[in-house]
Amino acid sequence: AKTLFYTNLNSLKLNNPALWAGSAGGAIKFIETDNFNVMAYLRYKGSNKVLTVVNLTSEKQTVNIPMTSGKLYKLGAAKPTVIGKNLKLTLTSSGYAVYSTKQ
């Protein structure tokens, strides 16, 4: 299971310009959420976007993240998540979620 996770993560980094390093990479924008215990940020370059959401506590947290309507792929998922004006997530203790605009 961990091998597949790292394979997916490495593929995302290599194939998404938003995550490239230096001037070739994307800018970062921290996103204000409705839960102080959750940090969210977006790396973006052109139409390539990667959203990372991190639970900073040892307790389960629910968060709403303001977004633009569209489709996002959760890391490792084959089908996109269709979102409206908010992305609602429940994160496990010290959990995280990574979404991108392309698979």
The model's pLDDT over 75-89, given as tens digits with 9 standing for 90+, comes to 988 888 888 888 999
Mean pLDDT, the chain, as a whole number?
A: 93
pLDDT computed for residue 85 by the predictor: 86
Q: Are 37 and 54 in contact (CB under 8 A)?
A: no
Q: What's the pTM value of the predicted model, to 2 decimals?
A: 0.91
Instruction: Look up residue 2 and give its two tokens.
Output: 């961990």
The full set of domains in the chain, from first to last, is 2-100 (2.60.40.1180)
Residues near 26 by beta carbon (within 8 Å), at least 6 away in sequence: 17, 18, 19, 20, 43, 44, 45, 48, 49, 50
How would residue 103 be classed by pLDDT, with cut points 50, 70 and 90?
confident
How would residue 9 be classed by pLDDT, with cut points 50, 70 and 90?
very high
Of the candidates 66, 68, 57, the one whose C-alpha atom is nearest the C-alpha of residue 96 is 57
CA–CA gap between residue 75 and residue 27 (Å, rounded)? 20
